């Protein structure tokens, strides 16, 4: 189940908006589809990112997948713990497996979905 209060992209990323900052990660659906995550490449702090741009990579035992940012702005923090423990994404995709934080430049994009809409997307 996708937690309420978060916004979701069609690329299976989630965003928790708090004021002008968004915390971003991949969804539980995405981490389950990937399997055991063995490496996460994150953007660098200070990097400007455009909405829906590829900003990193998640590597699992099954595949390598790009990370697309659902929001635009400036990277203000990354989850450095994922360098040593990328499996945190598998254990807790919506908590300790968060990936990075963005200071928003334009607010939350209109194409992000609420939990109910995202659940319908992954069920189809």
% of the chain residues with pLDDT over 70: 99
> For position 111, what pLDDT does the model report?
87
> For position 117, what pLDDT does the model report?
95
Instruction: Write out the two tokens for 62.
Output: 């099954």
Domains of the chain by range and CATH? 7-106 (2.40.50.100)
> If pLDDT is split at 50, 70 and 90, which confidence band does 14 have?
very high
> If pLDDT is split at 50, 70 and 90, which confidence band does 109 have?
confident
Backbone angles phi, psi at 56, to 5 degrees: 180, -170
Backbone angles phi, psi at 6, to 5 degrees: -105, 160
Q: Which of residues 124 and 98 earns the better pLDDT score?
A: 98
Question: Which stretch of 8-22, 69-83, 102-116 has the lowest confidence by average pLDDT?
Answer: 102-116
> If pLDDT is split at 50, 70 and 90, which confidence band does 108 have?
confident
Residue 40 has pLDDT above 90, yes or no: yes
């Amino acid at each position: 189940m996708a937690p309420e209060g978060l916004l979701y992209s069609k690329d299976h990323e989630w965003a928790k908006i708090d004021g002008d900052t968004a915390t971003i990660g991949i969804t539980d659906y995405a981490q389950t589809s990937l399997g055991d995550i063995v490496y996460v490449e994150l953007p660098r702090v200070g990097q400007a990112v455009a909405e829906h741009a590829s900003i990193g990579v998640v590597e699992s035992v099954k595949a390598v997948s790009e990370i697309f940012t659902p929001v635009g702005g400036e990277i203000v923090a990354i989850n450095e713990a994922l360098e040593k423990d990328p499996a945190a994404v598998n254990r807790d995709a919506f908590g300790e497996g968060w990936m990075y934080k963005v200071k928003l430049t334009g607010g939350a994009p209109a194409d992000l979905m609420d939990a109910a809409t995202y659940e319908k997307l992954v069920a189809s």
